[in-house]
Amino acid sequence: MNRKILLPALFSILLIWFIPNGYSQNLLKNGSFEWCNPPATHVPIYNNYPITGSYYTTSAHLVWLHEWKTGNPYHGLGWSGGVPFNYFGYQYARTGKAYTVIGEYAFAPVFWLQQPMVSGRCYRIRYFVSRCDFESCAIDALDGYFSKDSIHAQMIAPDTIVPQFTNPRGVIYDTLGWTEITGEYIANGTERYFAVGSFFGVLRSNQRTKVCTDSIIYNFNGAHQYSLSLNTNRSIALYYLDDVAIWECGLPEYPADAGPDKKICAGEKAELGNNIPRDQYMYFWSDRSWHGPRHTWDTLANTPKFTVSPTKTTTYYLWSIDFKFEHTYDSVTVYVEQCDIDLEIPNVFTPNGDGFNDHFMIRNPNQVNYLIDVYNRWGNLVFQGNQNYFWNGTFNGEPAPTGTYFYVLKATTQDGTYSKDFHGTVTILR
């Protein structure tokens, strides 16, 4: 049985999980863009999981990039390509397998707020950007805009839209990693929608900073080689956007907790994980580190707790992603000991040379080490053996008389942690 579930499938399942629950800590749905939502092709990442409802009020200009599209750039979204390669550069998603693109042309996703914000309350806004590798400019205007009424994401943002939340980090240049943009916002209670983008139209374009270079330095995180002909005068600033979240200030956070190390006997079970089910939390268990190469990522379970029954000492790795796409990790080791010794010792054997049952054969399924002494009825030692050496029914080179013999056997596990004594009788028949 293949117990490993591929990670992509898992993401799909879990993203379904955390949508229907009533109370949402992250006020935004699909803030990691794992689901696609152009109205005409409202398909989730994988066709197996149909889903209804909208995540964004409009996605007319939402560029949706997903690993699913990689290698098939003309499928679906045509020119934009997939993840990590696409028309804009090279980048893996910060969470999951998908992200979108924003920039000075306001490719803004406009999110519903799942619950109204409460007037006077503090909320934290957070999202992550990575500058697109193939664009030669960088900007600071990567802001957040709350509105009472739905707005349309537009190619050129109207100057009437003034974002309430301003990127506090200034111009963002990084094309390799994801840059966190975060800050607090006090709600006025009328907010119903949230958009991320660059809300500076023609009239106000001088109010934001834009830095362009003549040549682009490519950096593809190593792994891939390809050639690209590119107009380096494409002097716009575009950014990948992933993991958009808004939550009430001060919400408790629960990092991954795999629980304390455990010690079990072989054959026993151990329950791992000090986590309880929580809305908008995802869990991934593996017996390989999550910090290895992506192609080795696979998961054994996706539940807060995980029951295991390893046959040898094993370390399990837990990866958790919470409501605001915080990634945390923990590990736990289950030490497996041999706590019982099971030997099958016959009570009769027939050393008559017919090739059948000629030795005092002891079955040893746990492969323990043992020493055995066999005595005759007068208490004389007639045989000494071990797990590799069985009595053939002779004593001093002569066939031992038929009748009953007594044995004393002392067995010890290979790691020396457990011993068990056996004694009984065995009868020789011929």
Minimal distance in Å, beta carbon 33 to Ca ion?
A: 5
Give rounded-to-5 percent helix, strand, coil for the chain: 5, 35, 60
**CB nearer to Ca ion: pick between 191 and 322:** 322
Verify binding: residue 322, Ca ion, rule CB under 5 A: no
Distance CA 31, CA 334 (A): 36
- Stretch near Ca ion under the rule CB under 5 A, chosen from 227-235, 236-244, 284-292, 381-389: 236-244
**Phi and psi for 315 in degrees, rounded to 5?**
-100, 130
Q: Which residues pair with 222 in a beta bridge?
A: none
**CB nearer to Ca ion: pick between 245 and 336:** 245
Number of other CB atoms surrounding residue 60 within 10 Å: 13
**CB nearer to Ca ion: pick between 93 and 362:** 93
**CB nearer to Ca ion: pick between 34 and 330:** 34
Verify binding: residue 96, Ca ion, rule CB under 5 A: yes
**CB nearer to Ca ion: pick between 139 and 428:** 139
Minimal distance in Å, beta carbon 17 to Ca ion?
A: 16
Minimal distance in Å, beta carbon 312 to Ca ion?
A: 36
**CB nearer to Ca ion: pick between 103 and 385:** 103
**CB nearer to Ca ion: pick between 93 and 321:** 93
**CB nearer to Ca ion: pick between 34 and 191:** 34
Minimal distance in Å, beta carbon 88 to Ca ion?
A: 9
- Stretch near Ca ion under the rule CB under 5 A, chosen from 42-50, 83-91, 245-253, 354-362: 83-91
Distance CA 311, CA 380 (A): 41
Q: Please count the CA atoms within 13 angstroms of the CA of 345 that sit on its side-chain side.
A: 22
The pair of structure tokens assigned to 209 is: 């900073």
Of the candidates 12, 91, 198, 280, which one interacts with Ca ion according to CB under 5 A? 91
**CB nearer to Ca ion: pick between 83 and 125:** 83
Contact string (CB under 5 A) for Ca ion, positions 12-31, x = contact? --------------------
Quote the DSSP letter at residue 391.
Answer: B
Short-list 104, 106, 181, 197, CA closest to 144: 197
The DSSP element (H or E) to which 146 belongs, if any, is strand 143-147
Residues 6+ apart with CB under 8 A from 5: 298, 299, 300, 302
Verify binding: residue 275, Ca ion, rule CB under 5 A: no
The pair of structure tokens assigned to 374 is: 């066999």
Which segments within 249-378 are labelled E, that is strand? 262-265, 270-272, 282-286, 298-299, 306-308, 314-321, 327-337, 348-349, 369-375
Minimal distance in Å, beta carbon 79 to Ca ion?
A: 18
Of the candidates 175, 275, 286, 338, which one interacts with Ca ion according to CB under 5 A? 175
Minimal distance in Å, beta carbon 96 to Ca ion?
A: 4
Minimal distance in Å, beta carbon 93 to Ca ion?
A: 4
- Which residue number has the CB closest to Ca ion? 32
Of the candidates 67, 104, 133, 140, which one interacts with Ca ion according to CB under 5 A? 133
**CB nearer to Ca ion: pick between 93 and 368:** 93
- Stretch near Ca ion under the rule CB under 5 A, chosen from 87-95, 275-283, 289-297, 414-422: 87-95
- Contact yes or no for 243/32 (Cβ under 8 A): yes
The pair of structure tokens assigned to 142 is: 């990567």
Of the candidates 93, 125, 272, 374, which one interacts with Ca ion according to CB under 5 A? 93
The DSSP element (H or E) to which 7 belongs, if any, is helix 7-17
| Range 232-252 burial, b when 16+ CB lie within 10 A, else e | eeeeebbbbbbbbbbbeeeee
Number of residues that bind Ca ion (CB under 5 A): 13
Chain centroid offset of residue 16 CA? 16
**CB nearer to Ca ion: pick between 42 and 327:** 327
Which segments within 274-418 are labelled E, that is strand? 282-286, 298-299, 306-308, 314-321, 327-337, 348-349, 369-375, 381-386, 394-395, 398-399, 403-412
Residues that bind Ca ion (CB under 5 A): 32-33, 89-91, 93, 95-96, 98-99, 133, 175, 242
